[in-house]
Amino acid sequence: MAGQAHIGIAYGHSATLCVVADGKILFCESEERFNRIKGSVGFPRLALAHVYERLLRPADVATCTLYDATVVGFLALAKHKFEPFAGSGRYHEAKYDIGLDWRAMLGDEAQLAAVAAARTKQSPVESDPAIAAKASRYFCAEIGLPPERIHRVHHHVAHAMSTWPFAQGEERTLLLTLDGTGDRLCASVAVREGKTVSFLHETREDHSLGMLYSIVTGVLGMKMNEHEYKVMGLAPYAPPAAYADLLDSLRALLWVDDDGLWRNSYHIIEVLQERLEALLRWRRFDHVAGALQAYAEEMLVRWVRAWLRRTGTRRIACAGGVFMNVKANGLIAALPEVEAMSVVPSAADESTAIGCAVYGSLGFEPETPIRPAEGIYVGRAFDAAAIDAALAATGAAERYVVHRPPDMADRVAALLSEGQVVARFAGAAEFGARALGNRSILAHPGRTETVEVINRSIKNRDFWMPFAPAVLREQAARYFQVPAGLDSPYMMFGLPTTAEGAAALPAAIHRADKTGRPQFVRRDWNPEYAAIIEAFGRRTGTWAVLNTSFNLHGEPIVGTPQDAIRTVDRSGLRWCQIGPCLIEKRAA
């Protein structure tokens, strides 16, 4: 490694560590892949240990930037004795009523407004120099760096900076961040011109669309901060006429005005929660999902359009957990006002680690440009020797036939064309929540019976949830209605299918509305994965495969060869490519 490195650390939901060196993302992986705790919260010490052992030394680190501007995150870690813990929770565990007699304030707009205003200010604990000193000592000890090399950045600045490797060019670009909450904000608007970022507006957390979506997710009995995607997947099954009244009620709670500003009618989150509970009681779960998704799409389009108009821009770059909503992203990308759109891969809090590392690099080495990301395959990789050692350590030869085909791509494609399901653990891990081929389970996209096989014996997913297609980039327009200029290398856009796409990919798209969340696979970014799809296309005439993440339901994506073998052991998977080997489960 030439030059010095810059580390970015997120230690909230899905704790993650990123390294940028010479303007390039050198490494980025979430702690959950190391400690096997889904959505792991806590300092990513295992990820940092890997970096220091395999990639660089503390002496090589010029800056380490943390993803929040206050000690609130440190206090949360202290509450959990600085041990990692699962990041999502059930609704009854997440009630907002904590010692506040807010019900007595109902109807008193002045009191509620005063509480909302007070929450924008630092608490005495946050401004206590003794707490700040404890936090500094903790982070210095964990990171192994002196305090002058450790920095903090506002949560939404980290989100905004994370767009840099994915929205290249000198053109004027609108930067939009939107999430549940971070450093008391839920949204920001900025414009980037060249290397200059100018922030134009910010939105307080009590106007949070992300929080509203999460509360409804909890009311539906799912895990907040994790299962919002399930609500999005359920929504297309509901007929719009069945939830029209709910949609009107949601519009009256939180809305975007003509100037692109978020407005609410409840002041504080506790009141929003109370109103949502009353509104949704006794309503069908699919109607609730349909109303929530339609409402979120409408508000996001209104917000984006207003700021495009106000700034006169036609290019946008987006980050923050709300932009994990791929259906809304697809609608925004198709707007006639939008000339180019990018969304940070895995845009929730895990990607703030990228923004922090970029922030440190640009601040310390402004003359070094941030290079464009190419496929985000920047996690751990394991060579043939490590894979052989894992096969030996797990006694795999007793349970599997170990093949070493001379043409792996053709052999895997042949199995897929025959209707087999094949897991793939190869190359460097892709960053984030979306499996992009290297830690994936693959199948024939045209065989709908495969969906039931995968759900029943491997993934145990909810019946309404779709899988995703991976398609060769140059063939994408055959299968999807792709807005002009849009690329989708990271599965961050939900797109309507063409007639050919609906006919060829029924197992890899949504059953109800025939949309898909495609990955456009580039040969220059991942030649081995592209070769599988190309070989499959030659055999079947379909230049795409079904792709889902390589994990059991509720577990993180596999991180090591041992994780991969254990997952195959515990599932109905028969076939798995693991580096240069293709293992086949022996008959019982």
Please list, in sequence order, all residues whose beta carbon lies within 8 angstroms of the beta carbon of residue 101, skipping any fewer than 6 positions away.
Answer: none
CATH code assigned to 384-585: 3.90.870.20
DSSP state of 456: I
Distance separating alpha carbons of residues 79 and 76, to the nearest angstrom: 5
Query: H/E element holding 10?
Result: strand 5-10
Distance separating alpha carbons of residues 464 and 233, to the nearest angstrom: 7
Task: Find where tokens 């759900």 sit.
Answer: 455
Query: H/E element holding 549?
Result: strand 544-549
Quick: pLDDT tens for 350-385: 999 999 999 999 999 999 999 999 999 999 999 999
Residue 97 has what pLDDT? 45
Distance separating alpha carbons of residues 497 and 165, to the nearest angstrom: 28
Single-letter amino acid, residue 369: P
Quick: pLDDT tens for 148-186: 999 999 999 999 999 999 997 889 999 999 999 999 999
Give me the residue spans of the domains in the chain.
5-158+354-364, 167-348, 384-585
Same topology between domain 5-158+354-364 and domain 384-585: no
Q: How many CA atoms lie within 13 A of 81 on its CB side?
A: 1
Task: Find where tokens 């109905």 sit.
Answer: 572
Residue 587 has what pLDDT? 83
Residue 120 has what pLDDT? 83
- pLDDT > 70 in the chain, percent: 97
Bridge partners of residue 470, in order along the sequence: 519, 545
pLDDT-wise least confident of 20-34, 72-86, 448-462: 448-462
Give the CATH fold of the 167-348 domain. Nucleotidyltransferase; domain 5 (3.30.420)
- Write 311-314 long-range contacts (CB < 8 A, 24+): 311/172, 311/174, 311/191, 311/200, 313/172, 313/173, 313/174, 313/191, 314/338, 314/339, 314/340
Residue 111 has what pLDDT? 84
Residue 116 has what pLDDT? 84
pLDDT tier, 8 (very low <50, low <70, confident <90, very high otherwise):
very high
Q: How far is CA 151 from CA 69, 70, 124, 363, 438, in A?
A: 9, 11, 22, 11, 33
Task: Find where tokens 């899988």 sit.
Answer: 467
Distance separating alpha carbons of residues 240 and 260, to the nearest angstrom: 26
H runs (alpha helix) in 368-431? 384-393, 396-399, 408-417
- Residue 132 sits at φ, ψ, to 5 deg, of -60, -40
What class has domain 5-158+354-364? alpha beta
Quick: pLDDT tens for 39-61: 999 999 999 999 999 999 999 99
User: Which tops the pLDDT comparison, 262 or 461?
Assistant: 262
- pLDDT > 90 in the chain, percent: 88
Q: How many CB atoms lie within 10 A of CB 123?
A: 13
Quick: pLDDT tens for 239-255: 999 999 999 999 999 99
Indicate if the pLDDT at residue 560 is higher than 70: yes
Q: What is the pTM of this model?
A: 0.96
DSSP helix, strand, coil percent of the chain (3-state; round to 5) = 40, 20, 40
DSSP assignment string, 13-32: TT-EEEEEETTEEEEEEETH
